[in-house]
Amino acid sequence: MGASSDVPAARSAVRVLAHLASHAGPSSAVAIARELDLPRSTVYHLLAVLAEEGFVTHLPEARRWGLGLAALGLGSAYARQAPLTRLGQPLVARLVDSTRQSAHLAVLHGREVLYLVEERAPGRPALVTDVDVSLPSHLTASGRAILAGLPAAQVRALFPGPASFADRTGTGPRSPGELRAVLRGVRARGWATEDGEVTPGLASVAHAAVDHTGRPVAGIAVTFVAADVPEPERAALAAAAGRAAAELSRRLGAGPR
């Protein structure tokens, strides 16, 4: 037998991760214990440690466990389980209920944001930000919230020159310097905003959610008819989006911010 036989806890942790990777969706701790023939107490301990390190994520509504962001190296299994979608869906739904405005969750995908969750409030206008739709990140509130938390070198790599800046409505940053100014405003204000840069007449406010390393991984935004929401009221909507983003961050293993 090799030296690996001397570390049964490590072997069990690998078995738990392999089990989660082999299933199309999250599993309960009881099911993991049963299928791997491990004591429940051992499984709960392993899951707690793996969650602390970001390799698994607890889904409280479903009482199940799925792969976490640190398991990106597991490739397609991570994409299948889409933990951000599963964790974010109930939070975005609650955000819509509390604000009576439409809301969404998006992630950075190259220079664009990809929308994973979209919830339209009753009676609100249709949005272009549907699930699986991509839009230029520098024009969207959710994209700006994420970009503002990234290292400056990464932002420069994404937007090296004027040719990097797509346009939708004739407004928004069109150069690296203009984008830097927008992102400075996001950091100073504490939340991101856009007004008519994606769709004329509509505006959005957003906060970023972070993982266990503090890296921004998603943006949660509220979108509304700009003429219906005066500037002072937008801060309240941003605060609501911030609470949802903070809860998503907590579920991803981030500490207090």
CA 4 to chain centre: 36
Q: Which residue has the higher pLDDT, 73 or 131?
A: 131
Task: Give the pLDDT band of residue 140 (cuts 50, 70, 90).
Answer: very high
Written as six digits, the tokens of 256 are 């207090």
- Domain boundary assignment for the chain: 3-81, 83-251
**Which of 2.170.130.10, 3.30.450.40, 1.20.210.10, 3.30.70.520 would CATH assign to domain 83-251?**
3.30.450.40
CATH 3.40.50.1980 matches 3-81: no
Task: Give the pLDDT band of residue 3 (cuts 50, 70, 90).
Answer: very low
What does the pLDDT look like over 195-208, one tens digit per residue? 999 999 999 999 99
Task: Give the pLDDT band of residue 184 (cuts 50, 70, 90).
Answer: very high
Spatial distance between the Cα atoms of 229 and 227, rounded to a whole number of angstroms:
6
Spatial distance between the Cα atoms of 74 and 159, rounded to a whole number of angstroms:
29
pTM over 0.85: no
Q: 119 with 96: CB under 8 angstroms? A: yes
What percentage of residues in the chain have a pLDDT greater than 90? 59
Q: In what order do the strands lie in the sheet with 134-136?
A: 134-136, 112-119, 102-109, 216-225, 202-210, 192-195
At residue 71, the pLDDT reads 67
Spatial distance between the Cα atoms of 85 and 83, rounded to a whole number of angstroms:
5
Sign of the four-CA dihedral 59, 64, 69, 75 = negative
Domains 3-81 and 83-251 share a fold: no
Q: 68 with 51: CB under 8 angstroms? A: yes
At residue 256, the pLDDT reads 67
- Rounded to 5 degrees, what are φ and ψ at 54? 85, 10
Helix pair 231-251, 83-99: axis angle to 10 deg? 150
Spatial distance between the Cα atoms of 201 and 196, rounded to a whole number of angstroms:
5
Burial class (CB in 10 A: 0-12, 13-18, 19+), 244: buried
Q: Which residue has the higher pLDDT, 256 or 87?
A: 87
In terms of average pLDDT, the best of 21-30, 76-85, 88-97, 107-116 is: 88-97
Tell me what the mean pLDDT of segment 117-137 comes to.
85
